[in-house]
Structure 1
Amino acid sequence: MISKATIDKIFSTIRVEEIIGEYVQLKRAGSNLKGLSPFHEEKSPSFIVSPSKQIWKDFSSGKGGTAISFLMEIEGFTYPEALRHAAKKYGIEIEEDRREISEAEKQSQTEKELLYKIHEVANQFFQDQIQTEEGRNVGYAYFRERELRADIIEKFQLGYAPEQKDAFTQYALEKGYTKDLLEKAGLAIFPENSPNGVDRFRDRVIFPIHSFSGRVLGFGGRILKNNIKTAKYLNSPETEIYHKSNVLYGLNHSKQAISRHNLCLLVEGYMDVIALHQAGIENVVSSSGTALTVEQIKLIKRLTENVTILFDGDSAGIKASFRSIDMLLSEGMNIRVLLFPDGDDPDSFSRKHPQEKVERFIREAATDFIDFKAEILLKEAAGDPIKKAEAIRDIIKSVGFVQNALKQEVYVKEVAGKFALSEQSLFNELHLQQQLQKQHTTPAPKPSTSPVKLVKVDEQPTESISPLYVLEEKLVELMLKYGDRLVERTDDDQQSYQISVIEEIIGHLEEDECEIQSPLNEKIIAEIKDGIRSNQLRSGKFFLSLMDEEISGRIATALVEPYENSDWSKHQIFFSKEEDLVPKIVSDVIYRHKREYIVKLIHDLKHSLSNDDDSEEVYKKIITLNQLRKTLDEKLFRIL
């Protein structure tokens, strides 16, 4: 268990904008930072980070909270895992609570956590093996042959799986890990003829595959012997923690550089990523030999919308790139493509030339996708007019994937100029392809088995939000934002006194025995009342430390404003802010809430009467409540 002192130190040290900045490209918006939601597809940024309050709010999904809750949400961390990750990032030493862990806590260690743990163990095992005699002669020798420096080998945690068929399996079993876990992790196989188990990775150099935050999810292994008939590369199978379509190799090392350069270089293999890092070019990732997926593109889009695809020029890779281009365009990315000279790939080219030349070549030789496709397809057409027309149709098909209408028009004009064609004919072709695409992607409506019922517009049911609920939400928001603020009040004898916002609102709710409308508000109010009993005023910051997902989102909603006012003072226009009017707002909302609660009571009493019920007592209550409502109307200037 992590000690309370360590948890407090973590919360006081970490910066929400730094943690989130590794996952989301944030831009300054007044005193806040703004970016696209990492949880919900959107075109206009509604994800807000408040450095001053150290909280975030995603207005598209409704989620919000602290840096720790963000890590839990985006990485699927448990609370302790998120704390340990943050502590490692900020160099905070973890102090363990010495109390004995209960059986319930031991059982709470999920299979997912064990999978992460066994991958950490395997990763360390493979790294240690490279230091053995066999590892140095085979694995380390291969990396040195590829001219990798020792610091790069260490940075990417490269390792070696020994030739012995069960080396890791026996090592893990001796440490107490089960056969079932090793199988589920994809690290060992237990066939009938080898009940003691067989390592999945044997006699290969190992490339660990990390998550966005740096946790080991799986491995890629390259065989070094040419006389063995097996796949050159072997990857971990799909597991509960490793889904290859959701992972980009090298992203954990490259995310900050991608955000800083506002550009992602997309390459094909592990060694391409590693070699470019060694050359000083770090804004690079790989799809690890698999076809690019929408999930992988979304990972990149959190950090930048600009992608340059680097290919080594072989025909199979070029054809595969066409599909990647269309997918990137459909996700709103800006794309450039670069083909290396014959015989070169990013790995070999970066080893031949200094960093400045490599960077300049990538910058200057990269072309937009139209020029790239035109060069490749027209070379294949070789003057054949029919093939040339097909090539142009293929390019226009890619333009059709561009989401922005203005960009589409610019690209069509570019194609028209390049091939001396009329813009109108290209727009006609674009429209035709879009219509065909809709026919292929839109499912036919299912025939209805029930008679069609026509409903008039004025018969449509409409949802209405209770004014009482809205005012209750505002009371809770005021307690969360300004709960410990003291406000000046005057009693019946005209004597001045001070009272905190929390105490005044809780006093109102208890005096009128108000029934709380929302279960979440009930939970927050119960915590505030507990605080009062222990002489503690629990406002927003207290609740953030509870790590309750629902409450964190509610706090973030209360504390983070989606919009900020411009500085109107430069135009000699001045107006008050909410924080300047807290005493008046609190009393006003209390009166309004009191009035709406009275209206609810009157409504409930009227409905409790049956047609033949003539209860005098109930009518007296209704009359009394109506008089109270009128008194409140006067206070609120609602009398006409």
Structure 2
Amino acid sequence: MISRQTIDSIFSAARVEEVIGDFVSLKRAGSNLKGLSPFVDEKTPSFMVSPAKQIWKDFSTGKGGNVVTFLMEHEQFTYPEALRWLAKKYNIEIEEDREQTDEQKEELKLRESLFIVSEFAKKYFIEQLNETEEGKNVGLSYFKERGFTKQTIDKFELGYSPTKRNAFTETAEKKGYGKNILEASGLSIYKDSENGIDRFRERVMFPIHSFSGRVLGFGGRILRSDVKAAKYLNSPETEIYHKSKILYGIFQSKQAILKQNECLLVEGYTDVISLHQSGIENVVASSGTALTPDQIRLIKRLTPNVTILYDGDSAGIKASFRGIDLILEQELNVKVLLFPEGEDPDSFAQKNSSENIQKYIEENALDFIQFKAKVLLEEAKDSPVKKAELIRDIIHSISLIPNVIQRELYIQQTAELMQVREEVLFKELGQNLDRKHKEAKEKRETERRSHSLEVVKEEAIAINPRMIVEEELIKLIMQFGNLVVDLKDDAGETYATTVIEEILQQFESNDLKFGNEIYQSIFEDVKLGYEKEELRTGDFFVKLFDEGKTEIASEAMMEKYSISDNWEKKLNIHIKAKEDNISKDISDTILRYKTFYLDDLIKEFSEILKQQEVDGELRMEQLEKIILLTQMRAKIFKALNRVI
């Protein structure tokens, strides 16, 4: 296990804004940073990062935590994986604290094995390319013929898989990689015989990286034309490789996309590589697959602006229409660029400088309406029927845009371009929107009926007054636990204490407990810390390896900073700090919680009275207890200025 000292060093060195900034485009919002959620599709930024508190909160999903939990959520790392990733980023040497149990080793191995074997395969293919005669003569020669420099080959970690049918598998097995892991990774194929064969043979290899640079899978291109095999071959779907959720080049290109606030989208690996080598680095590829919503959301994390680069192939152009509509649905700005006949992004990049490429893109990229009109008008020629179909196609695309103002501007542009009255187009748009709304309503109604019971249960929990007060007590601990407050005892004497000490004292002296299990567990952690002379507030809990507690802590702490720092400047409104009322808040919250405790006791004694076997003396005793408890309850309500 990683030592506590190493974990502390990692948390001290790691900056949440730096790490998250590698994955999400963040902008300053007062003392915090804001961006679009990396977990869901959204229009308004609800993802907050607090550099001061070193926490993050995604208000759209409720997720939150520290720098480690972000990596666990975003990259699907385990806790040790996230720590090791941060240690590598900040050049921290990892010290092992103690030997892992067999169970812990197995759990880590299951998660890590596919990443490890993929990393091994990448290094193997690189070695084959650069250090073997076959690799140099076949693979390296091919890359050099394509014009790729040594720097470019190294940047994209290109490699070569040799001709021998089990070269990689044999090597991997000798290194100790199990057959089940090799097969699960898709790198090796095991059929009836025990001897495995390589999936990729006699191919140049393109590693496919995650956002953070981990190898997820591979693409391989065969170089011989005299064999019956697919020209390009990708890794099959695995636990870590999902083709529909990955964009080739995203790791190498993300910083350039952020900086230029634009993403160029191409189809193939070599398109990306050639453009990078030419100095155009804000480019990714869909790897020959139809564009998916998950891939578009990857781009949206970095920029709202997409330009699709296509060659002149008519089939590819028609197929692009679906991708354009998907991009519009995600409320991104989309342009399309067609290269001259006979050219594609790869060949064009090989022949032109970065300045010429950039200039060509700027001068020739068309918005989606101009692009569709240009392509479809050539087919429609003078046919009114086909022209009407073209207009309906464009209006359908416009209807997918969530922004009302953008829709109206595009309608105006279409009317001018197609020489059709705006009111006709607005009518067609209205019919499209009505259909969409009807379909969405029917879908919501179906979901509502199927989940009605769950909704009722959730609402019941949401309005449970006891849970609300318990949540408030936990927030007080997280936000202000070590704050010294002045309170008054029953005699009216003032005494100074901390928020945590007051809650602990009140709970212990009155034998109170939290009904919510995770809140009670937090309370036990706080109590344990106090016994060790440590006041455990939110700063402690956001560093725990406990997603539930970390999320609660980050949400409580981020709440303090969710109000814009500019309100007072813009609206001349003074927002009173919660600290100003903390003494009253803690007293009132504890009093409110005591009423629930009293209610439970009153209910318990009332149930005893209902039992027929209760004799007269015991009945009187229970009645006296109920009267006393009711009087105590009344005193609390009076102190809270509430009517019974």
Structure-2-length-normalised TM-score: 0.91
Corresponding residue for 1:506? Answer: 504
| Counterpart amino acid of residue 621 in structure 2 | E
Q: Aligned pair 1:626/2:624, yes or no? A: no
Corresponding residue for 2:105? Answer: 106
Higher share of residues assigned helix: 2
Corresponding residue for 1:537? Answer: 535
- Identify unmatched segments of 5+ residues in structure 2: 450-458
Corresponding residue for 2:170? Answer: 170
Corresponding residue for 1:135? Answer: 135
Separation in 1 of the partners of 2:406 and 2:492?
Answer: 68
Q: Can you list the C-alpha shifts for 1:359-398, whole angstroms capped at 9, x where unaligned?
A: 2222222110000011111112233333222222222222
1:485/1:303 Cα in 2 relative to 1: closer, same or farther (>3 Å)?
same
| Counterpart amino acid of residue 622 in structure 2 | V
Separation in 1 of the partners of 2:25 and 2:572?
Answer: 35
Q: Aligned pair 1:268/2:272, yes or no? A: no
Corresponding residue for 2:20? Answer: 20
Separation in 1 of the partners of 2:211 and 2:230?
Answer: 27
Q: Aligned pair 1:417/2:421, yes or no? A: no
1:572/1:369 Cα in 2 relative to 1: closer, same or farther (>3 Å)?
closer
Separation in 2 of the partners of 1:441 and 1:381?
Answer: 33
1:425/1:549 Cα in 2 relative to 1: closer, same or farther (>3 Å)?
same
Separation in 2 of the partners of 1:257 and 1:365?
Answer: 21
Separation in 2 of the partners of 1:12 and 1:207?
Answer: 37
Separation in 2 of the partners of 1:584 and 1:638?
Answer: 15
- 6-15 vs 462-471, which deviates more? 462-471
- Identify unmatched segments of 5+ residues in structure 1: 451-460
CA offset at residue 563 of structure 1? 2.6
CA offset at residue 65 of structure 1? 0.5
- 597-606 vs 369-378, which deviates more? 597-606
Separation in 2 of the partners of 1:496 and 1:400?
Answer: 66
Corresponding residue for 2:208? Answer: 209
CA offset at residue 434 of structure 1? 4.8
Separation in 2 of the partners of 1:523 and 1:442?
Answer: 42
Separation in 2 of the partners of 1:151 and 1:382?
Answer: 49
Corresponding residue for 2:38? Answer: 38
- 599-608 vs 78-87, which deviates more? 599-608
Contact 2:2 2:95 in 1 (8 A): yes
CA offset at residue 227 of structure 1? 2.3
Give the alignment's Cα RMSD to 1 decimal: 2.7
Q: Can you list the C-alpha shifts for 1:142-191, whole angstroms capped at 9, x where unaligned?
A: 11122222122111110011111111010011011122222221111233
1:385/1:472 Cα in 2 relative to 1: closer, same or farther (>3 Å)?
closer
Separation in 1 of the partners of 2:550 and 2:516?
Answer: 16
Matches within 5 A, 1:323-338: 323-338=322-337
Separation in 2 of the partners of 1:504 and 1:466?
Answer: 24
- 372-381 vs 183-192, which deviates more? 183-192
Separation in 2 of the partners of 1:285 and 1:130?
Answer: 24
Separation in 1 of the partners of 2:113 and 2:583?
Answer: 53
- 52-61 vs 19-28, which deviates more? 19-28
Corresponding residue for 2:479? Answer: 481
| Counterpart amino acid of residue 394 in structure 2 | I
Matches within 5 A, 1:61-76: 61-76=61-76
CA offset at residue 293 of structure 1? 0.9
1:491/1:445 Cα in 2 relative to 1: closer, same or farther (>3 Å)?
closer
Q: Can you list the C-alpha shifts for 1:201-221, whole angstroms capped at 9, x where unaligned?
A: 111110001112211111001
Contact 1:161 1:203 in 2 (8 A): yes
Separation in 2 of the partners of 1:585 and 1:439?
Answer: 48
Contact 2:148 2:274 in 1 (8 A): yes
Contact 1:183 1:190 in 2 (8 A): yes
- 47-56 vs 574-583, which deviates more? 574-583
Corresponding residue for 2:407? Answer: 408
Q: Aligned pair 1:591/2:591, yes or no? A: yes
1:397/1:492 Cα in 2 relative to 1: closer, same or farther (>3 Å)?
closer
Separation in 2 of the partners of 1:473 and 1:438?
Answer: 38
1:440/1:530 Cα in 2 relative to 1: closer, same or farther (>3 Å)?
closer
Corresponding residue for 1:547? Answer: 545
Separation in 2 of the partners of 1:560 and 1:439?
Answer: 38
Separation in 2 of the partners of 1:280 and 1:604?
Answer: 76
1:464/1:573 Cα in 2 relative to 1: closer, same or farther (>3 Å)?
closer
Corresponding residue for 1:578? Answer: 578
The DSSP-based 3-state class of the residue aligned with 1:344 is: coil
CA offset at residue 231 of structure 1? 1.6
- 250-259 vs 116-125, which deviates more? 250-259
Separation in 2 of the partners of 1:27 and 1:494?
Answer: 50
Matches within 5 A, 1:488-527: 488-489=486-487, 497-527=495-525
Separation in 2 of the partners of 1:464 and 1:199?
Answer: 55
Separation in 2 of the partners of 1:569 and 1:627?
Answer: 49
Q: 1:617 aligns with which of 618, 621, 629?
A: 621
Q: 1:636 aligns with which of 594, 616, 640?
A: 640
- 547-556 vs 624-633, which deviates more? 624-633
Separation in 2 of the partners of 1:244 and 1:143?
Answer: 24
CA offset at residue 308 of structure 1? 0.7
1:76/1:220 Cα in 2 relative to 1: closer, same or farther (>3 Å)?
same
Separation in 2 of the partners of 1:442 and 1:470?
Answer: 33
The DSSP-based 3-state class of the residue aligned with 2:482 is: coil
1:569/1:587 Cα in 2 relative to 1: closer, same or farther (>3 Å)?
farther
1:256/1:444 Cα in 2 relative to 1: closer, same or farther (>3 Å)?
closer
State the aligned residue count. Answer: 626
Contact 2:169 2:188 in 1 (8 A): yes
Corresponding residue for 1:322? Answer: 321
Corresponding residue for 2:554? Answer: 556
Matches within 5 A, 1:357-376: 357-376=356-375
Corresponding residue for 2:349? Answer: 350
Corresponding residue for 1:467? Answer: 465
Q: Can you list the C-alpha shifts for 1:385-443, whole angstroms capped at 9, x where unaligned?
A: 33222222222222222222222221111111111111122223333445566788887
Separation in 2 of the partners of 1:241 and 1:182?
Answer: 13
Separation in 1 of the partners of 2:545 and 2:287?
Answer: 36
Corresponding residue for 1:200? Answer: 199
The DSSP-based 3-state class of the residue aligned with 1:282 is: coil
The DSSP-based 3-state class of the residue aligned with 2:497 is: strand
Q: Can you list the C-alpha shifts for 1:209-257, whole angstroms capped at 9, x where unaligned?
A: 1112211111001111222232211111111211111111111122222
Structure-1-length-normalised TM-score: 0.92
Q: Aligned pair 1:239/2:233, yes or no? A: no
- 401-410 vs 323-332, which deviates more? 401-410
Contact 2:542 2:551 in 1 (8 A): no
1:236/1:466 Cα in 2 relative to 1: closer, same or farther (>3 Å)?
closer
CA offset at residue 331 of structure 1? 2.1
Separation in 1 of the partners of 2:504 and 2:150?
Answer: 63
Contact 1:34 1:49 in 2 (8 A): yes
Separation in 2 of the partners of 1:302 and 1:349?
Answer: 28
Corresponding residue for 1:183? Answer: 183
